[in-house]
Amino acid sequence: MKLVKLFLVAALLTATSVIQAQNSRLNGQQYTIVMIDEQNDGDEILDIFSFNNNELKSQNMTKDGFSSASVNESGNNFEAVFSKSASETMTISGTVEGTTIFGNIVSTQNGSNSNYVFRGMTSTEWNAIKEKKAAAGQ
C-alpha cells in the first residue's frame, strides 16, 4: 500500500510539473537579443535566450560556464538567476510583449555588479528580418 501511495504522489508531482510547463507563455520560445553594459557604454553583445520546461538557457552564458536557470513568470514578466558559483551570478529580469522581449541583467562577481540592458525579438522574426535585409542588399 505504501508503494502505491508513493507512486501516486510521484505521478501527481510529475503531472503538476508538466501542467506548469504547458501553462508557461515562454515555454518553447527562442529570442535573439542584444545587450549592452549600460554603466560602461560597452559593445553590443548578441545572444539567444531559449525557454523550455520553465528553464532559460543562454548561448553566451553557457559558453561562460553558467548552466540553465529556473524561470519564474508573472504575467508578461519573468526572472531567472544563473549561478556559476556562490560568488558569480547573473540575474535576468524581463518582460515579453508580443514578439518582443526586453529587460535587465545584473552580473555579480565577487561582490561587484555590472548592469546590462537587453532588447530583442523572437528568433523567427529576427531571422526573417535578417533575410529580407540580405535580399535587399543591406
* In the chain, domain spans: 2-135
Alpha helix (H) residue ranges in 24-122: 59-63
Is residue 112 within 8 A of residue 106, CB to CB? The reply is: no
- pLDDT, residue 25, reads 85
Confidence of residue 87 (pLDDT cuts 50, 70, 90): confident
Is residue 18 within 8 A of residue 38, CB to CB? The reply is: no
Is residue 65 within 8 A of residue 58, CB to CB? The reply is: no
- pLDDT, residue 1, reads 54
| Cβ-based neighbour number of residue 116 at 10 Å | 19
Tens digits of per-residue pLDDT, 6-47? 444 444 444 334 434 446 889 999 999 999 987 777 889 999
Residue carrying the nine cell digits 542584444: 34
Answer whether CATH 3.60.70.12 is correct for domain 2-135: no
Amino acid letter, 75: G
- pLDDT, residue 23, reads 64
